[in-house]
Amino acid sequence: MTFKDGILAARHHIVFLLGLCAAFGLVIYLENTDITRQAFTVEVNSEIPVREFSALTEQEIKWARIAWQYFENNTHEETGLVNSVDGYPAATMWDTASYLLGLISAERLGIIDKKEFTRRITKALTSLAELELHDGQLPHKSYNAKSLAMVDYTNQATERGIGWSAIDIGRLFVPFNILVWNYPQFTPYIGEITSQWDLNAMVVNGVLYGAEVNELGETNYVQEGRIGYEEYAAKSVSLLGLDVSVAMKYNDFIQYESIEGIDIPTDKRIPEIYVAHNYVVSESYILDAIEFGGDAISKEFAFRVYQAQENRYLQRGILTAVSEDNIDQAPYFVYNTVFSNGKAWNAITDTGEDASIFRTVSTKAAIGWHMLYDTKYTQKLIDYIGHNYIEGKGWLSGIYEIDGRTNNAITANSNAIILESLHYKVNGPLLNISGAIKQPKIEVVME
């Protein structure tokens, strides 16, 4: 093969790399201009704990191995993809991203060796390049993890599909960016995957859009994300050079609610008008910190969300670490929130139905907050939740608040976030491209 032939054969990968370099430059440029400057101010809390990074203890190494065991048990050798829930062969893009991030964390922590890491990453990326896309544009909301067929949320095959999630795809670009910047041997695989995707379909005028299929089989496009998750997903998408400046704003729909004496950031887009629910949970802020390192605003908001939960314990004696989680009985998934739909400590289903009897101390939230802050309160959470696992299977999702029963659901997301959190304790944020992912410099004073 001549040099010219080699260049032609590699042209897609070269274009992909050039695009990433251009995106990197764009982010740096935006940081130094007023175009994305926030038009509000937030008071910075000087009390935010700063964890000192250190090696894992013997107990924490055991925790990491238990979390990794979930993926050992639930990987399909045919595809390299992982079940979203123990023994349940379905995979969303969010759960696939969680697996890849858990895999990266496991390799960096020495839980698996480089050979196993390379084998698993290669197999998963190869399968992602083979996925049938919804409307030929973007990855579908859910696939059968064994066959790669498009499925609905009950894991039944669907020829038409049910749409795509911009938030889920945004999370997938977190491990994609880590691989491109830190494991460049996988860049051709990422390029092969994303060259098939119409990424412009999920970004309109700086806003993230998902797709839904209505009863007539028509695709409707809807804005996705509320405060916390919207900004989190937009950060990784911004590294692609796409304009997500509106999605990255915290101030456009912000409203503060006083909960346990703490002014909590909430989203004033109410479901009665905007359809989607406005959950304030732990997970989005924990992920922003352990994956990106946070920005000036998200660090402050994360600590407030944490403080409200600590204060609930101090004032009422109720151990609190709330987030969305699978549960081991109907309705099988519950949003345990600090605030949602006008109510503090609301626990609801995705359709807004009351699920307060299923409020839990979330295992991933408890461990995430502890690895992030390491306070006396997070230690109390760890003392309570630190044995909530089954050796040989993985970590259980939580403990029901109402009666102390174990929530026996075991999921890819919880076990991956535990691995990510343990990685953070040792190495800091997973994605650190010389500070490329930051909010612009802003004045931070309370409104």
How far apart are alpha carbons 221 and 29 in whole angstroms? 30
Q: What is the pLDDT of residues 238-294, one digit of tens each?
A: 998 899 999 999 988 999 999 999 999 999 887 666 567 788 999 999 999 999 999
Return the domain boundaries, the chain.
3-427
**For residue 186, pLDDT beyond 50:** yes
Q: Give residue 39's pLDDT.
A: 45
pLDDT band at 10 (very low <50, low <70, confident <90, very high): very low
Q: Give residue 368's pLDDT.
A: 98
Q: Give residue 77's pLDDT.
A: 96
pLDDT band at 439 (very low <50, low <70, confident <90, very high): very low
**For residue 90, pLDDT beyond 80:** yes
Beta pairing class for 203-204 and 207-213:
antiparallel
Report residue 392 as tokens. Answer: 């040989």
Per cent of the chain over pLDDT 70 is 85
Q: Give residue 26's pLDDT.
A: 43
According to CATH, what is the number of the domain 3-427?
Answer: 1.50.10.140
User: What is the CB neighbour count within 10 angstroms for residue 357?
Assistant: 11
| Spatial CB neighbours of 28, under 8 Å, sequence gap ≥ 6 | 436
Overall average pLDDT of the 384-389 stretch: 98
pLDDT band at 446 (very low <50, low <70, confident <90, very high): very low
Sign of CA dihedral 273, 235, 107, 183: positive
**For residue 388, pLDDT beyond 90:** yes
Which DSSP string do the residues of 212-225 spell out, in sequence order? EE-TTS-EEEEE--
| Closest CA relative to residue 264, chosen from 305, 298, 311, 310 | 305
Tallying the residues shown for the chain, one arrives at 447
Report residue 190 as tokens. Answer: 């990422």
Residue 285's φ and ψ, nearest 5 degrees, are: -75, -35
Q: Which residues pair with 163 in a beta bridge?
A: 212
Q: Name the residue type at position 37.
A: R
Q: Give residue 17's pLDDT.
A: 54
How far apart are alpha carbons 123 and 108 in whole angstroms? 19
Residue 398's φ and ψ, nearest 5 degrees, are: 170, -170
Q: Name the residue type at position 99.
A: Y
